[in-house]
Amino acid sequence: MKRSNTNNTLITALYCRLSQEDMRSGESLSIENQRLMLTEYAEKNGFKNAKLYIDDGFSGTDNTRPAYVEMLEDVKNGLVGTVIVKDQSRLGRDHLETDRLMELIFPAYDVRFIAITDGVDSANGFNEMSGIRNLFNDMYARDTSKKIRAVQRAKGERGERIGAHIPYGYMKDPNDAKHIVPDPETAPTVKRIFEMYASGIGFVKICDVLSKEKVLSPSMYEFRRTGSRSGNPNPDRPYHWAQATVRKMLLNEVYCGDTVNFKTYTKSNKLRKRLKNTPDRILTFRDTHEAIVDRKTFDLVQKHFEGRKRPDKQGEIDKFAGYLYCADCGARMYLRRGKIDNYSCSGHSKRATDCRSAHYIRASALESVVLTALRQVTSYARNHSEEFYKAAMQKGEEESKKLLRDVEKQQVELTARIGQLDNIIATLYEDRVVGRLSPERYDQLSAKYEKEQAEIKAKLEVISQKLDRQKLRESCIRSFIKSAKRYVSMPKLTPELLRTFISRIEVHEKENRFSRTIGNKIDICFTFAPESGMIIDGEGNGEGSQLLAG
């Protein structure tokens, strides 16, 4: 049964909405202006029981606006008699949704709809312009979104941060709003989380430690600082840290000083769901701001993520996670806990590779072999520093010199070619301006040369990385010697020692797979020369090891 709109017990819904784009249009669209206009209109025209529904900062294409959803619920519950807005665009800019409301929902619930400045009152019936106006409002939103996306794309390609959210541990630079700097209150917590995980402590234990020490969770810290509820803060549990929060933090490149743009995207301005971008569309800019975590620690944490991440009963992660590989197929080797903890090739067990054996090795034997090799190498580096340095530098020295000569020559040639292309493109533009070249021909030629420039810049980036790698050789060796002098006592193998001295370990199958006396051969790549290795013959019973070659 239909209700009468003259029933004064029904709500007169005064709906106001303002988006960030509308703010640029001036005071006329402000929430205060809308509120005053709607209130005065309701009073002058005898609408009783007025109730304001306000969405401040929400796009008209967002159909999940809180006040909007609340108003529609009241409409469907039979509580609303009239809906009044400043104009149709305030109700929404999705023409399909707005048409549905005006032509189906409101009439079905006998709700009178009024858009003041558009001269629309459903009591007098709708005309064709109402539908056309909704379509124009939709087109305006789409055009605005397109322009904003173009601006954001240009900013992102320049290496500027385009995300509105500032990660926990950082704050806006007081002198430059576009720049971020470590937050003195929270940055130490971020650094500590990385160090704990790098040392082998799992998510659960990290969360327990932070909760026990009453460290505010990121959402509660933001809520107390700004009042924001974006992270769903829980005042009843202010020190509760979720594992997902820690995991997301440990994967975020921002903490090692990098800016990563275009991780996600939306298909259109009407779809709010963020989709993950493909790696080729993600842009990373290194060292754009001060790092909280050094790159070595960050890379180590990523290694742990690549390996097995499940902690043991003590909440600790397998120390070899991310370091251990099968020497034959290159697949990772995972820890299998049991009566005798052991490692085996995942490529063999999952039939993911053609590896014909599990490369079984006891955890105790592996640890004994690696620790013995580590003691021997660091002892030599510590006690015979100059000989160690010369030996490490000599390996591949001639190849390194030749590579440096070649890449430096290539770098000069490519840089010169980029300069030539700049001149060519400038000349083409002049020809286009004076009319010697048609716009179509200019576009065709400039696109060709710009593509060549992009390819050359990519090659130069690869060359720069090669040069940097060669120049870092000496500093890596010096750093290894310095660390060897610091870690004199090595009673047991720890994640910290692995992080400091070792970059990769490869395990070979035994010559006799079923032998209890012949051990696995192990290649250990040390951090002073990651491209080289040491072959170790580990005893299968874990009672000892012997250095075969260095």
Round the average pLDDT of the chain to a whole number and report it.
Answer: 81
Q: Provide long-range contacts, Cβ within 8 A and 24+ apart, for 485-494.
A: 485/382, 487/378, 488/382, 490/371, 490/374, 490/375, 490/378, 492/371, 493/319, 493/367, 493/370, 493/371, 493/374, 494/199, 494/200, 494/319
Helices (H) and strands (E) in the chain, counts: 18, 19
Higher pLDDT, 511 or 109: 109
pLDDT for residue 394: 66
pLDDT for residue 190: 94
d(CA 141, CA 25): 13
Tokens matching residue 23: 């703010």
For the ranges 210-214, 244-248, 425-429, which has the lowest average pLDDT?
Answer: 425-429
Higher pLDDT, 16 or 479: 16
**Residue 1 confidence class, pLDDT cut points 50, 70, 90:** very low
> What residues contact 346, with CB distance under 8 A and at least 6 apart?
326, 331, 332, 333, 334, 352
Higher pLDDT, 99 or 535: 99
Q: Would you say 359 and 333 are in contact if contact means Cβ atoms under 8 Å apart?
A: yes
- Per-residue pLDDT, averaged over 286-314, amounts to 76
Share of the chain above pLDDT 70, in %: 85
pLDDT for residue 276: 83
For the ranges 384-393, 449-458, 523-532, which has the lowest average pLDDT?
Answer: 523-532
For the ranges 215-219, 291-295, 343-347, 448-452, which has the lowest average pLDDT?
Answer: 448-452
Tokens matching residue 374: 């580590």
> What residues pair up with 283 in beta bridges, in sequence order?
261
pLDDT for residue 424: 85
**Residue 401 confidence class, pLDDT cut points 50, 70, 90:** low
pLDDT for residue 102: 92
pLDDT(536) > 60: no
Q: What is the CATH number of domain 11-152?
A: 3.40.50.1390
pLDDT, one tens digit per residue, over 74-99 is 999 999 999 999 999 999 988 888 99
pLDDT(104) > 60: yes
pLDDT for residue 116: 93
pLDDT for residue 3: 45
pLDDT for residue 484: 83
pLDDT(278) > 80: yes
Burial grade of 287 (CB within 10 A; 0-12, 13-18, 19 or more): exposed
pLDDT for residue 388: 82
pLDDT for residue 472: 60
- Per-residue pLDDT, averaged over 485-490, amounts to 85
Q: Angle 226-230-231 (CA atoms, 0-180°, nearest 5)?
A: 100
The residue count for the chain? 550
For residue 452, CA distances in Å to 285, 311, 422, 437, 440 come to 22, 49, 11, 21, 19
pLDDT for residue 407: 65
pLDDT for residue 200: 75
Q: Would you say 109 and 76 are in contact if contact means Cβ atoms under 8 Å apart?
A: yes
pLDDT for residue 113: 95
> What residues contact 28, with CB distance under 8 A and at least 6 apart?
none
pLDDT for residue 547: 35
Q: What is the CATH number of domain 170-306?
A: 3.90.1750
Neighbouring C-beta atoms of residue 268, cutoff 10 Å: 8
- Per-residue pLDDT, averaged over 304-324, amounts to 68
pLDDT, one tens digit per residue, over 9-56 is 899 999 999 887 666 555 557 888 899 999 999 999 999 999 999 998
Q: Would you say 3 and 72 are in contact if contact means Cβ atoms under 8 Å apart?
A: no
pLDDT(543) > 50: no
pLDDT for residue 15: 95
pLDDT(321) > 90: no
pLDDT for residue 213: 92
List strand residue ranges (DSSP E) for 317-437, in order: 324-326, 333-336, 342-345, 361-362
pLDDT for residue 293: 92
pLDDT(482) > 80: yes
pLDDT for residue 249: 92
Most confident listed range (222-236, 371-385, 390-404, 424-438):
371-385
pLDDT for residue 27: 52
Tokens matching residue 18: 């303002």
pLDDT(188) > 90: yes
pLDDT for residue 429: 80
